[in-house]
Amino acid sequence: MARMQVVLLLEIAKESHHTTTFRFRADFGGSAGQFVMVWIPHHDELPMALSYLGPVKGITVHAYGDATKAFLDFRPGDRIGVRGPYGNTFKLEGEKVLAVAGGTGMASVIAAIEAFAQQGAEVTTAVGARTAEELLFVDRASASGEVHVSTDDGTRGFHGFVPALAAKLMEKHKFDQILTCGPERMMKLVVDEARTRGVKVQASLERYMKCGIGICDACAFDDKLVCVDGPVFTGAQLASSRDFGTYRRSKDGRRVAL
């Protein structure tokens, strides 16, 4: 079993008014797309994608709930618990890749953008946010390939949602593979677009989790588990899904609308 490690927070970087990256050293591996369970002492334990791989890992956190807001008060030298890495990974399939990220979904996709570029793929990124200030990791993505930006309010780049931007890119270029992470209804549009064009697609899903290790059934997604069968699912898997883009499970296990 993967024992929880209590680690010191090293650097803490504010990415936008609501999103912060925490760096820490942990002696476990981790590949693009994988997540860790992060214990914010006295508050909660939550699944978070690794936004930085390697010995000094990173998680990039959108403060939207009580625990993630409390996390903002943590400083370098404070301690958190981490266990993992868990879940499957984004897989490189082909030469030309389009990464489509919405909001904090970029935290998961950026690791794949960097890893795939290192493996020699030509990676194009479409990254979207509500407004320019909330765009995540544009510089990091630019260091790995071409980047296209969209904002819902038009403060930077394409004025509109990122799936529309991605569709335009797919119209113009032939990609071997699409990766996506972001709000699920956004991903649904990207997956549908890719499938219509016959392009392979992988999407990283988010669900409430308790265990992270495939036993508690909290993250049930159809008859699969996001924690061990995912978080990355293929377009073929998602095409036959009843839950994708439609349902999630509440903390008490009820199937509720997304």
Q: Evaluate whether 87 touches 49 at the Cβ level (below 8 Å).
A: no
> Judged by CB, which is closer to other proteins: 44, or 133?
44
Token pair belonging to 21: 């990256």
- Assigned token pair, 244: 């994708």
- Comparison of 22 and 39: residue with beta carbon closer to other proteins: 39
Question: Which residue's CB is nearer to other proteins, number 67 or number 164?
Answer: 67
Classify 25 as helix, strand or coil. strand
Smallest separation, CB 239 to other proteins (Å): 17
Closer residue to other proteins in complex, CB, 128/212: 212
Residue nearer to other proteins on the CB measure, 13 or 256: 256
The distance of closest approach from Cβ of residue 108 to other proteins in the complex, given in angstroms and rounded to an integer, is: 20
Give the Cα separation of 234 and 74 in Å (integer). 36
- In whole angstroms, the minimum distance from the beta carbon of 242 to other proteins comes to 9
Beta strands in the chain (DSSP E): 5-14, 19-25, 35-40, 44-52, 56-62, 79-86, 96-102, 122-129, 145-151, 158-159, 177-181, 200-204, 220-221, 224-225, 232-234, 247-249, 255-257
Instruction: In angstroms, give the least distance from the CB of 209 to other proteins.
Output: 8
CB 226, min distance to other proteins, A: 12
Closest approach of other proteins to the CB of residue 88, in Å: 13
DSSP state of 57: E
Compute φ and ψ for 48, nearest 5 degrees: -140, 140
Angle between helices 162-172 and 184-196 in degrees, nearest 10: 20
User: Which among 55, 56, 179, 60 has a CA at the least distance from the CA of 117?
Assistant: 179
Nearest distance in Å: CB 189, other proteins: 25
The binding site for other proteins (CB under 8 A) comprises 1-4, 6, 37, 39, 41-42, 44-46, 79, 81, 83, 210-218, 220, 222-225, 228, 249-255
Nearer to other proteins, 192 or 222 (CB): 222
**CB nearer other proteins, residue 161 or residue 244:** 244
Per-residue DSSP letter, 101: E
